[in-house]
Amino acid sequence: MTLATGSTASFEVAVLRDLRVPMRDGVALATDVYLPARGGRPIAGEFPTLVERTPYDKRREVLEQTGRWFAQRGYAVAMQDVRGRNGSSGKWSFLPAAEGQDGFDTLAWIGAQPWSDGHVATMGLSYSATNQQPLALLRPQGLATQVCCDGGYNYHHRTLRHGGAFELGVALPYVLRMARESQEFTRATKGLAKFEAACAELEEWFRRLPLRFENTPLRFAPGYQSWFLDLLRSSDYDDYWRQPGWNLEEHIDRHPDLPILLQTSWYGHHIWATTEKFSRLCEQGDAPKKLLIGHWTHGYDDYGRSWCGEVDFGPEAAIDLNEIKLRWFDQCLRGIDTGAFDEPPVRIFVMGGGSGHRTSDGRLEHGGVWRDENEWPLARTRWTRFFLLPGGELRPDAPSPHGPETAPSRYRYDPLDPVPTIGGSTQDTLYPYLPQGGAFDQRCRSELVACSGASDDRPLAERADVLVFQTPILEQVIEVTGPITVNLWVASSAVDTDFTAKLIDVYPPGGDADGFAMNLTDGILRMRYRSSRDRPEFMTPGKVYEIEFELQATSNVFAEGHRIRLDISSSNFPRFDPHPNTGDPLGMNSAPVTADNTVFHDASRPSHVVLPIISL
């Protein structure tokens, strides 16, 4: 059927509820199909189809709205509960091997329906982005394009583990949510009551360090606890992490050359995953690829907001994601020339340039602009080393080999008193005592469990276990856009410990901002994995090691009068699990010990950060 109206909202919507789509092993997946309609009845004809397969309930409001929105514009939309979730049969686990096959069988079913024209696009955020990848590897008939929003690429390298550390701030809130909404609890309310009672005590659990992971509320959801503990304790990079659902990186050579739209965000979970995936897919084929990076955290609710955390990025920051997807689908599925293939392949939001005043709701006006680019990383990048110098300076000038001998910087890391997480790429939660994602002033606040008491509202920079290195006051604007690498020479009294780094934009004192220290990106390295993720190697206490680790990419304009700051420490809790500083198996509740850690910054051991400077 030819639709002269194209992508305009010209139709009513009819919904076919809870269709049972059969899988090859007998499992049936509950699916709602949204169809263009007139007079309350589906229009007879064939339509291109959009598919989103979700563990978060196909009846979720944002998915209902999306299904109706695209059906009004002449698309069939299939919203499906993945196996073992909500209305679907089977047993759920995190991105199981069956996801690719289930997607394949779903597309085969769609191709046989009278309302399908045989052309299919998959779409989704997070899990619903990642589960498109094993499907693509199977090369199903009819798959014409994919839209993957902030999905994984290698969950061991980022999002569940990070530099060898466990991403507690993502994994635990996530598995608690999944357990609470599980079929097991909806069918057994007594178990749910016990789970909720334990959740009410979760704040005290977080405050009792060291954490005992067997004592979380998950003990009342044994299947979810088993999965969580496996993630926690499977620290080496082995076959556990290499299956296609969790790790497209290991299988990327088999990916078909499809038009793909990838989206991520500076405060999301999957910056490295999305940018790395984009680069590899561009290398492998000629089909159009698009990369979109905004200021948001990780979630559907963020796209229409101009703010993230305590910071507002200006009215230009908000977007209508459905409009962007519609242009892409019209081009890929209908052959309508929307210009989507003619635009530069990369569109990024460059943060900064705002007034520094406060909005009516109290957020800092940091500002920002959207900009088109031709590649990632940007070809015009000047990779510039900024050196950590005595007295806490951060400069592009290397330490002089002819100057006086420079003493290293030392601090004591105590796992029972870790540095608190304030914002960043952690998981937003309903728990007020856990940090929310986004941009925040790097100052403690009494409600957070990692802050030591009601009177503890001091800046993190004042902690004795945080080494602060910052530039002089900037006399000109500097843009930093791209991936960031930290190179340190370090030693420790422990056989294993962590080193962390955080890049910060520091506002000048006075005015509304008054020294606001805005977190941009961070990273961590667990020292047993300094040479290899699959072969741990412990340290010799007192021996000096040269290490390198990545911070998530970012894009920010440091304004005149600001400072660029790099914080070095050994903890960032609860974003990452506090390292006990022992050589014991990770996640096994070993008795922690303190570590005396050292960072060197002399001419022969010039610790530095490599910043991607963009000429303005």
Q: Are 47 and 75 in contact (CB under 8 A)?
A: yes
Tokens of 558: 């440091």
- pLDDT of 479 higher than 70: yes
pLDDT, residue 453, reads 61
Least confident of 3-7, 93-97, 172-176: 3-7
Mean pLDDT of 129-146: 98
d(CA 68, CA 12): 9
> What are the residues facing 501 on neighbouring strands?
523, 568
Which candidate, 489, 585, 580, places its Cα nearest to that of 543?
A: 489
- Which tokens in the block code for residue 554? 């970012």
What's the mean pLDDT in 465-491? 98
12-156+242-349: which CATH architecture? 3-Layer(aba) Sandwich (3.40)
**Which residues are CB-contacts of 490 (< 8 A; sequence separation ≥ 6)?**
499, 527, 544, 545, 547, 597, 598, 599, 600
pLDDT of 6 strictly over 90: no
Handedness of CA 57, 63, 68, 72 (dihedral sign): negative
Using a 10 angstrom Cβ sphere, with 0-12 exposed, 13-18 middle and 19 or more buried, the burial of residue 234 is middle
Please state, rounded to an integer, the average pLDDT across all residues of the chain. 95
Percent of the chain residues topping a pLDDT of 90? 91
Task: Using a pLDDT cut of 70, give the percent of the chain over it.
Answer: 98
Residue with tokens 């909005």: 359
Comparing 24-33, 300-309, 330-339, the range with the smallest average pLDDT is: 300-309
The CATH class for the domain spanning 382-400+407-585+593-614 reads mainly beta
* Helices 321-334, 61-71: inter-axial angle, 10-degree rounding: 40
- 474 closest CA partner among 564, 389, 565, 388: 564
Reading the block at residue 454, the tokens are 């009601």
* Tokens coding 174: 């996530």
Q: What is the pLDDT of residue 1?
A: 34
Res. 10 pLDDT band, cuts 50 70 90: very high
pLDDT recorded at residue 428: 79
pLDDT at 165 over 60: yes
188 band by pLDDT with thresholds 50, 70 and 90: low
pLDDT for residue 127: 97
Is the distance from CB of 134 to CB of 252 less than 8 angstroms?
no
The β-bridge relationship of strands 595-602 and 478-492 is antiparallel
Residue 478: strand, helix, or coil: strand
* CA 609/CA 605 separation, integer angstroms: 13
Residue 455 — pLDDT band, cuts 50, 70, 90? low
Distance CA 102, CA 277 (A): 23
Tokens representing 158 are 């980022």
The answer to whether the CB of 444 falls within 8 A of the CB of 457 is yes
Answer for the pair 220, 247: CB distance below 8 angstroms, yes or no: no
Q: Which runs of consecutive H residues, i.e. helices, occur in 148-221?
A: 168-180, 183-187, 189-199, 202-207
User: Model confidence over 305-336: pLDDT tens digits?
Assistant: 999 999 999 999 999 999 999 999 999 999 99
CA atoms within 13 A on the CB side of 406: 23
Torsion sign (Cα): 184, 187, 188, 189: positive
Strand, helix or coil at 205? helix
Q: Supply the pLDDT for residue 301.
A: 81
pLDDT (0 to 100) of residue 344:
98
Distance CA 578, CA 432 (A): 20
Residue 139 CA to residue 135 CA, distance in Å, equals 7
Query: Cβ(538)–Cβ(495) under 8 Å?
Result: yes
In this prediction, residue 441 carries a pLDDT of 98
The DSSP secondary structure of 24-73, one letter per residue, reads TTS-EEEEEEEEEEETTEEPSS-EEEEEEEESS-TT-HHHHHHHHHHHTT
Q: How far is it, in rounded angstroms, from Cα 579 to Cα 348? A: 35
Contact (Cβ atoms closer than 8 angstroms) between residue 124 and residue 54: yes
Write the pLDDT tens digit of every residue in 251-285.
Answer: 999 999 999 999 999 999 999 999 999 999 999 99
Report the alpha-carbon distance of residue 269 to residue 153 in Å, rounded. 11
19 touches 31 (CB < 8 A): yes
Contacts 24+ apart (CB under 8 A), 390-397: 390/601, 392/467, 392/468, 392/469, 392/470, 393/469, 393/470, 393/471, 393/472, 394/469, 394/470, 394/471, 394/564, 394/565, 394/566, 394/609, 395/471, 395/472
Report pLDDT for 300: 84
**Would the CATH topology of 12-156+242-349 be identical to that of 382-400+407-585+593-614?**
no
Residue 57: CB atoms within 10 Å = 15
* C-alpha span between 439 and 443 (Å, rounded): 12
Residue 559 pLDDT grade (very low, low, confident, very high; cuts 50, 70, 90)? very high
| 476-494 burial: b if 16+ Cβ within 10 Å, else e | eebbbbbbbbbbbbbbbbb
Residues whose CB falls within 8 Å of the CB of residue 598, separated by 6 or more in sequence, listed in order: 408, 409, 410, 490, 491, 492
The beta-strand segments (E) located in 417-558 are 467-470, 478-492, 498-506, 517-526, 545-558
Range in 77-91, 237-251, 392-406 the model is least confident about? 392-406
What DSSP character marks residue 610? E
In this predicted structure, the answer to whether residue 4 has a pLDDT above a threshold of 70 is no
Look up the pTM and report it: 0.96
pLDDT reading at 189 higher than 90: no
Give every CB contact of residue 205 below 8 A, 6+ residues apart in sequence. 211, 215, 216
The residue ranges of every structural domain in the chain are 12-156+242-349, 161-240, 382-400+407-585+593-614
Span of 11-25, 427-441, 486-500, 563-577 with lowest mean pLDDT = 427-441
